[in-house]
Structure 1
Amino acid sequence: MSQRVTVKDVAVAAGVSPATVSRVMAGDYPVSAATRARVQRAVRELDYVANAQARALKGAGSGMVAFVMEDVTGPSFAYVAKGVEQQATAMGRLCLICTTHGDPARELAVVEAMREQRADAVILVGSGFLDDDYRQRMIHFAHGLDKAGSRLVLCGRPALGDDVPTTVVEYDNEGGAYAMTSHLLSQGHRKIVYLGNVQENHTTSRDRIKGFTRAHEAFGVPLDPALIVPGVYSQAFGYAGAKRLLAAGVEHTAIFAATDMVAAGVLLALREAGVRVPQDVSVVGYDDIPLAVNVVPALTTVRIPTEELGRTAVRLALSPDEPQHVVLGTHIVVRESVAPVVGR
């Protein structure tokens, strides 16, 4: 294996001192144009790569933004990632994508690794976990990143506390669920099934079920616990959950799928069973991913500003003088999958 090129090799090739090479690489010290050109030519010819740990010791950032998400195949995650990558590029940063597979221990390990690599920002997207051990460790990492000149960004999840140095970019998750449930109730629906994750230690799930419950309370409609069907955010779960509802003969006039992917599975199961949407059963989703306009019928859903979440997360993390906690709005997108109960 060939020997690694060092800063001393570049210095010899350029006819300058190693300190001058470091100054040119860091870009934080005045160097003549001719000297800079010689060093840059030597760097190219020798294919020199600066050592990340050495740069960290000198106080230079990595020029990298880390984006941490549960699953690269999740459509809503993909659009947040698109916004992150676009804004990072616009602000002269590279974007590194990491996945956690829903494992809180892995998420914590990734944050620690990115702190060691001196990422300019570490952006966590999607639901967080509410158990105390996880929360305390995340607070510890937030302070550690801050001391290292980096920033922990919570994207689509709530803040860790007013005294914790983080950038928080939320969306009105509970409000979106409340608005969608209110829309169904206003159409005369009183037996609405909720299909999706309902874990109390999962921030996204907690807020959506809170919005669903609060809308029932506001309309004075009792909520039947039997109509809340827990499961994961996947098309397969939506399909299986709808199949079970039909087989059990559970009386309902509408299904609120916790994500658009869950809704896609529901629509497939209903279509196979000969149940018409929206004539027999109304179906709604959450996220407004591109799939929502391609299913039949086109899905009424809650729109999350996914790309804006990603862009805002990067912009605020790299602009410390701007407000570091914002909440973006959600709204209903009415399409063809809901009909009034009256007249059925």
Structure 2
Amino acid sequence: MAVTLADVAARAGVSAATVSRVLSGNYPVAGATRSRVLRAVEELEYVVNGPASALAAATSDLVGVLVNDIADPFFGIMASAVQSELEPGKAGRKLAVVCNTGGSPERELTYLTLLQRQRAAAVVLTGSAVEDPEHTAALAARLRRMAGAGTRVVLCGRPPLPEPGGPDGADGPGSTDGSGDADGTAAGPVTVAFDNRGGARRLTEHLLALGHRRIGCVAGPVERTTTRHRLEGHRAALAAHDPALLADADRLTVHGAYDRSSGYDGALELLRRTPDLTAVLAANDTAALGVCAALRETGLRIPGDVSVAGFDDLPFSADAAPALTTVRIPLHEAGARAGRLALGREAVPPGGMATVRTELMVRASTAPPRTGRAPVPSGGPTR
């Protein structure tokens, strides 16, 4: 026979209403009483009827975490950090549901619809956003409806939502004014943004200070906000150093996915366009590994002939050969903060937005350019 709420109440020596208050977490209960109830729940192995509880409450115990690709360490680290904030004792037994969108805007909206039907307590969206006005408007409307219904919404690694009724303004301020309920619930979606522009600018300044002028860029997908922001930072550094460097910026930029294959192919295309290239900025650390592989197979040394830099400072970056110069984004700290904000355990930042600072990590993959480098061998490498 299934254990009931009344059974738990009898074991704990309290009323069924008190058990309900403890399990919902919405009412103050004395610490000793709460401990007694939770102990009875464990001893009796009582399982709350989730669907019934969701119908009776504004939200359920689900927390949705939307990622582009859970196999990508960038997203895996953030998802793990969010989930770490949901551990029993921290969040009152919330359940994290990781949704793998594959970068599809349609799948992103579908998952949000499903989470909305389940009355998710919170939703965390990670990674860059697609720069499409129609999708941006649909996404903003969906998220604001969820927030209005009681779901806490956090954007982690994304720009804030555009103002309602305004231009697409992906970089503009979000709709929330930072105010909220006493428990930290925001009036609208909260943003934990990454300083991609500043990080890319510092990385380019590092290469310029070493003496590089022919700097190729293997950028990410052209329709992604992160790609645009990092390119803007890179080109701002070029313009500040010497506006003439911008004349070749387009020729020295290729786009691809945030993966090793795109880094490999991008490096070969850059060498075809500019055989005397002296440095390459990669879209991220994974793409940088592909860049390094292509350069080696072409007979070029790193950093003796071509310096290589990545972005994100993923765990393998320091152990690459040579160790990879990159920009560190504190992904775990950012994900954990997003988790706390999603659960109402951290005060909403002023204006509903916090920016995570980046840090330049200089390692062995970058060095001053060597004069008189031998030309790239003809024929190119074989995979």
Range class of TM-score, shorter chain: 0.7 to 0.9
CA gap 1:40/1:315 in 2 versus in 1, 3 angstroms:
closer
Q: Please state how far the C-alpha of 1:37 moved relative to its aligned partner.
A: 7.3
Which residue of the partner structure matches residue 80 of structure 2? 82
Please tell me whether the aligned partners of residues 300 and 306 of structure 2 are also in contact (alpha carbons under 8 angstroms): yes
Q: Deviation digits for residues 102-157 of structure 1, max 9, x if unmatched?
A: 00111111122222222221000001123222222222222222222211111001
Pairing of 1:230-241 with structure 2 (within 5 A): 230-241=255-266
Q: Is 258-267 or 314-323 further displaced after alignment? A: 314-323
CA gap 1:309/1:321 in 2 versus in 1, 3 angstroms:
closer
After TM superposition, the score normalised by the length of structure 2 is 0.78
Q: Which whole-Å CA distance do the structure 2 matches of 1:227 and 1:197 have between them?
A: 14
CA gap 1:342/1:138 in 2 versus in 1, 3 angstroms:
same
Which residue of the partner structure matches residue 206 of structure 1? 228
Which residue of the partner structure matches residue 309 of structure 1? 334
Which residue of the partner structure matches residue 195 of structure 2? 172
Q: Please state how far the C-alpha of 1:191 moved relative to its aligned partner.
A: 1.0
After TM superposition, the score normalised by the length of structure 1 is 0.86
Pairing of 1:71-150 with structure 2 (within 5 A): 71-89=69-87, 91-92=90-91, 93-150=94-151
Structure 2 unmatched ranges of 5 or more: 164-173, 177-187, 373-383
Q: Is 136-145 or 202-211 further displaced after alignment? A: 136-145
SS of the residue 1:322 aligns to: coil
Please tell me whether the aligned partners of residues 115 and 148 of structure 1 are also in contact (alpha carbons under 8 angstroms): no
Q: Which whole-Å CA distance do the structure 2 matches of 1:300 and 1:322 have between them?
A: 34
Q: Please state how far the C-alpha of 1:71 moved relative to its aligned partner.
A: 0.3
Which residue of the partner structure matches residue 297 of structure 2? 272
CA gap 1:37/1:279 in 2 versus in 1, 3 angstroms:
closer
Q: Which whole-Å CA distance do the structure 2 matches of 1:193 and 1:315 have between them?
A: 39
Q: Which amino acid aligns with 1:216?
A: L
Structure 1 residue 331 corresponds to structure 2 residue 367: no
SS of the residue 2:251 aligns to: helix
Q: Which whole-Å CA distance do the structure 1 matches of 2:280 and 2:346 have between them?
A: 43
- Tell me which of 196, 201, 211 is aligned to 2:219: 196
Structure 1 unmatched ranges of 5 or more: none
Q: How many residues align?
A: 336
RMSD: 3.0
Q: Please state how far the C-alpha of 1:198 moved relative to its aligned partner.
A: 4.8
Please tell me whether the aligned partners of residues 216 and 223 of structure 1 are also in contact (alpha carbons under 8 angstroms): no
- Tell me which of 156, 171, 175 is aligned to 1:163: 175
Q: Deviation digits for residues 280-329 of structure 1, max 9, x if unmatched?
A: 11110001011111211111001111001101111223146432311010
Which residue of the partner structure matches residue 261 of structure 1? 286
Q: Which whole-Å CA distance do the structure 2 matches of 1:337 and 1:23 have between them?
A: 57
SS of the residue 2:197 aligns to: helix
